[in-house]
Amino acid sequence: MQMEDMVIISVDDHAVEPPEAFVRHYPEGKKDRAPRIIDKNGQDVWLWNDKVYPTIGLNAVVGRPRSEYGMEPTRFEQLRPGCFDAAARVDDMNANGVLGSLNFPTMPSFAGGVFVGAAAAGAKDEALMATRAWNDWHVQEWCASAPGRFIPMCLVPMWDMDATLAELKRMSDLGVHAVSFSDNPANIGLPSIHNEYWEPFWKACSDYRIVINCHIGTGARALHPSSESPIDAWITAMPISIANSAADWTFATFWKRYPDLRMALSEGGIGWIPYFLERADFTYEHHHEWTFSDFAGERPSDLFKRHVICCFIDDQFGVKNLEYMNTDMVAYECDYPHSDTVWPNVPEYLWASVNGLDPAIINKITHANVMREYSFDAFALNGGRENCTVGHLRELGKDVDVSPRVGLGGLKTESMDLIGKSRRPVTSGEIEKMFASA
């Protein structure tokens, strides 16, 4: 196998909702209540439910020189069009040699936490309308524009189980096999995953073959060590921050009742997984006689390997230790348009990690596992495997301009603005202050 022969599907990317995304899918007579973009002090911000949400890009810095990264672009004109325009995204995927993409929300937050917060504050009807409108935009516009290129995913109104089940059924009928869900709902004011409240949800996801996608930061969060800490420390720990939630899910009991249920640790990386599984097994062996956990003759690692999908961007250590994982449950992610993405050089980065592996293993982690678990028949949707390879897609995208886009601006801290002067590391405190004032 050569690099150009790979077929790459990403299970973690992000879409920035265009300004009219929600309005188009609100009921007639209620469109004035939909989230919409307004100008606030020269920034494009979302206005919804009488509250301003100051972020549109969420690190949508793809295509910029790394020296010009900032935490947030502040206007749509500063974003690469592929962030919010589906046709332009497909062009960027072609140039990147990436066949398929699963996209998390931006305005609602990755698992709809904005809507959960509004419901908790009493605006349940508004939150339900916004959730349904996002789903309709995402499935009927974004994904429907290129059915063989985007994996549909939905949000659910987690605060209302009857509404959640109705929305899951509605989305399943539209061919959706993925839902974005908090990695720790107890941290956002909802029952923990061990509460019987979620039992109908587990059953529905199992029955409809819907993968539960838990993105980092949707419940448990990486903590800033201190306000004076370099922001690099927080960025480094961010993927591994989902380890606490991973342990929580591993020791949950509902897996016994739903053997076909699947979840994904989105953007969590894989390098830490071998030690995590070793530790989980050690914990069970040494403590289950007094903690009363019961894996029915199995080990925690057995359950994890069967039910949990792990994904990586650039994780050579993890790839070298695949023997300690289940290669049927490892997948790739691109993270377009966030600052960790290696667009437009995904094939080169990925090939550097997988070159030398058995081609069957390469096929599993680059696309076959995703096609199976997400019920996404990419080959049939694109007219055969020959139309899905890195080489074929890059030929389609050979005229896409991937040159760096410079001088676009955006939110900057004081130390970021010290161009040509003595510079010091950007700190966590500066980033927090910047967001608070935005």
Provide mean pLDDT across the span 373-396. Answer: 98
pLDDT of residue 423: 67
Instruction: Provide the CA 383 distance to its chain's centre, in angstroms.
Output: 27
Does the predicted model carry a pTM greater than 0.85? yes
pLDDT of residue 417: 62
The answer to whether residues 242 and 438 touch, using CB atoms and an 8 Å cutoff, is: no
Helices first, then strands: H and E counts in the chain: 17, 11
CA distance 125 to 118: 9
pLDDT of residue 336: 97
43-76 per-residue burial string, b: 16 or more CB within 10 A, e: under 16: bbbbebbeeebbbbbbbbbbbbeeebebbbbbbb
Ranges of beta strands (E only) in 246-355 are 263-266, 308-312, 330-332
Query: Residue 155 is encoded by which pair of tokens?
Result: 């949000």
Instruction: Provide the CA 93 distance to its chain's centre, in angstroms.
Output: 16
pLDDT at 416 over 70: no
The answer to whether residues 372 and 64 touch, using CB atoms and an 8 Å cutoff, is: no
Provide mean pLDDT across the span 11-31. Answer: 97
pLDDT at 411 over 80: no
pLDDT of residue 203: 98
DSSP state of 141: I
> Mean of the per-residue pLDDT values for the chain?
94
Instruction: Provide the CA 270 distance to its chain's centre, in angstroms.
Output: 15
Cβ neighbours of 310 (radius 10 Å): 28
312, 18, 32, 165: CA torsion to nearest 10: -30
| DSSP per-residue letters across 331-362 | EE---TTSTT--TT-HHHHHHHHHTTS-HHHH
CA distance 437 to 431: 10
pLDDT of residue 301: 98
The answer to whether residues 283 and 231 touch, using CB atoms and an 8 Å cutoff, is: no
Q: Per the CATH hierarchy, to which homologous superfamily does domain 3-13+81-399 belong?
A: Metal-dependent hydrolases (3.20.20.140)
CA distance 204 to 207: 5
Query: In a 3-state reduction of DSSP, which class is residue 430?
Result: helix
- Cβ burial of 277 (10 Å; 0-12, 13-18, 19+) is buried
Provide mean pLDDT across the span 313-326. Answer: 97
CA distance 420 to 426: 15
pLDDT at 18 over 80: yes
DSSP state of 100: E
pLDDT of residue 253: 97
Provide mean pLDDT across the span 309-338. Answer: 97
Kindly report which listed range (35-44, 204-213, 263-272) carries the lowest average pLDDT score.
35-44
More confident residue, 4 or 55: 4
| DSSP per-residue letters across 28-75 | TT-GGGS-EEEEETTEEEEEETTEEE--SSSS--TTS-GGG--SB--S
pLDDT at 38 over 60: yes
For the stretch 62-81, pLDDT in tens is: 999 988 887 667 889 999 99
pLDDT of residue 437: 62
18: which residues sit within 8 A by CB, 6+ positions away?
A: 76, 84, 85
CA distance 383 to 115: 38
32: which residues sit within 8 A by CB, 6+ positions away?
A: none
Provide mean pLDDT across the span 344-373. Answer: 98
Provide mean pLDDT across the span 310-323. Answer: 96
For the stretch 108-167, pLDDT in tens is: 999 999 999 999 999 999 999 999 999 999 999 999 999 999 999 999 999 999 999 999
pLDDT of residue 260: 97
Task: Sheet with 211-215: list strands edge to edge.
Answer: 150-151, 100-104, 9-14, 330-332, 308-312, 263-266, 211-215, 178-180
32-39 contacts at long range (C-beta below 8 A, 24 or more positions apart): 33/126, 33/129, 34/129, 34/130, 34/133, 35/107, 35/130, 37/76
pLDDT of residue 56: 60
- 306 closest CA partner among 296, 291, 315: 296
More confident residue, 66 or 88: 88
CA distances from 419 to 68, 408, 416 (A): 10, 15, 7
pLDDT of residue 41: 87
Provide mean pLDDT across the span 42-71. Answer: 84
More confident residue, 351 or 405: 351
pLDDT at 58 over 70: no
